[in-house]
């Protein structure tokens, strides 16, 4: 009887130790996940957002007010092509998306319906796309570290890389996670380029033609607390930059000084999303402030601001 009473406390002690160990392990895992996803940074920005005045919100994109109106629409026949970027064309009022795995350019309506497909001959892994001016578009080949400026019009059915000017983007810290994002800044007449990992921004001056001036210049920024940088876009109304991160499931707004303004979480249950956007790889915005995204492998999203 006395030996049984001696064993019971030992059993409770071993159970308590296991419970305490599992609690510590869970806490460590939660902290590691929060650190990797930059949830601590998002928490700080979320708190700061609460103190923004209505006037300040009006002068920005203000991503918390956006809700999805087209949620995960399938781009037909592109399941194995991997949608890699998206750009709005103000002249045609249509969208252009580049497919990275099987290289081609696709034109879409603002509702995500396919208008035409144009094979990209000579490209290895086109990951970045932006509409410039006068029918010009810039395409970034991440694997080749190459930027091409092409001409696209209503009659274009195919594009051959050797027919257009090419620019060497140079080496990256991680050659396999190099230049992936690009957007045209009409106000400043320059291209804004983004390296995927570690996230970094560069500018390259242009006059809107197929000729770039000088060389790209790196922008110093400590605001890119993201796991990776997937795509870039510039709001034509405010000049603010939208930075997309597939790994962080996040869209971040930076003002013209490069400082964080607002963000949108791309997880299911937020901003009207039924499910988490699996891998958001492209983002763009039109002159009305409507937001568009594509996700691998072939999903299309449209967000509108709730007034």
pLDDT in tens, 100-135: 889 999 999 999 999 999 999 999 999 999 999 999
Residue 36 is predicted with a pLDDT of 46
- pLDDT over 90 at 11, yes or no: no
Of 85, 110, 80, 81, residue with least CA distance to 95: 110
Please state the pTM of the whole predicted model.
0.85
pLDDT in tens, 229-266: 999 999 999 999 999 999 999 999 999 999 999 999 99
- pLDDT classification of 3: cutoffs 50, 70, 90: very low
What does the pLDDT average to over 61-84? 94
Asked whether 299 and 110 are in contact (CB, 8 A), the reply is: no
For the beta carbon of residue 50, count every other beta carbon within 10 angstroms. Answer: 6
Asked whether 118 and 99 are in contact (CB, 8 A), the reply is: no
């Amino acid at each position: 009887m006395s030996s049984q009473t001696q064993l019971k406390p030992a059993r409770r002690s071993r159970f308590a130790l296991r419970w305490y160990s599992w609690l510590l392990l869970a806490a460590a895992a939660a902290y590691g996940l929060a650190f990797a996803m930059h949830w601590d940074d998002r928490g700080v920005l979320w708190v700061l957002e609460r103190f923004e005045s209505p006037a300040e919100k009006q002068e920005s994109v203000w991503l918390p007010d956006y809700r999805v109106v087209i949620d995960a629409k399938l781009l037909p026949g592109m399941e194995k092509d991997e949608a890699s970027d998206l750009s709005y064309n103000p002249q045609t009022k249509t969208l252009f998306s580049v497919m990275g795995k099987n290289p081609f350019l696709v034109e879409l309506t603002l509702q995500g319906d396919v208008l035409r497909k144009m094979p990209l001959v000579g490209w290895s892994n086109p990951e970045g796309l932006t509409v410039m001016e006068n029918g010009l578009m810039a395409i970034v080949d991440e694997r080749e570290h190459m930027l091409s400026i092409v001409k696209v019009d209503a009659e274009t059915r195919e594009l051959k890389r050797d027919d257009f000017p090419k620019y060497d983007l140079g080496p990256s810290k991680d050659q396999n996670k190099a230049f992936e994002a690009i957007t045209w800044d009409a106000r400043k007449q320059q291209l804004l380029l983004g390296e995927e990992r570690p996230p970094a921004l560069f500018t390259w001056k242009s006059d809107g033609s197929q000729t770039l001036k000088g060389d790209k210049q790196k922008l110093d920024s400590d605001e890119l607390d993201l796991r990776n940088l997937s795509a870039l876009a510039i709001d034509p109304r405010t000049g603010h930059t939208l930075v997309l991160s597939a790994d962080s499931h996040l869209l971040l707004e930076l003002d013209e000084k490069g400082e964080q303004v607002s963000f949108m979480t791309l997880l299911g249950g937020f901003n009207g999303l039924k499910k988490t956007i699996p891998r958001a790889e492209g983002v763009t915005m039109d002159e009305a402030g409507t937001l568009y995204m594509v996700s691998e492998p072939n999903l299309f999203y449209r967000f509108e601001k709730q007034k």
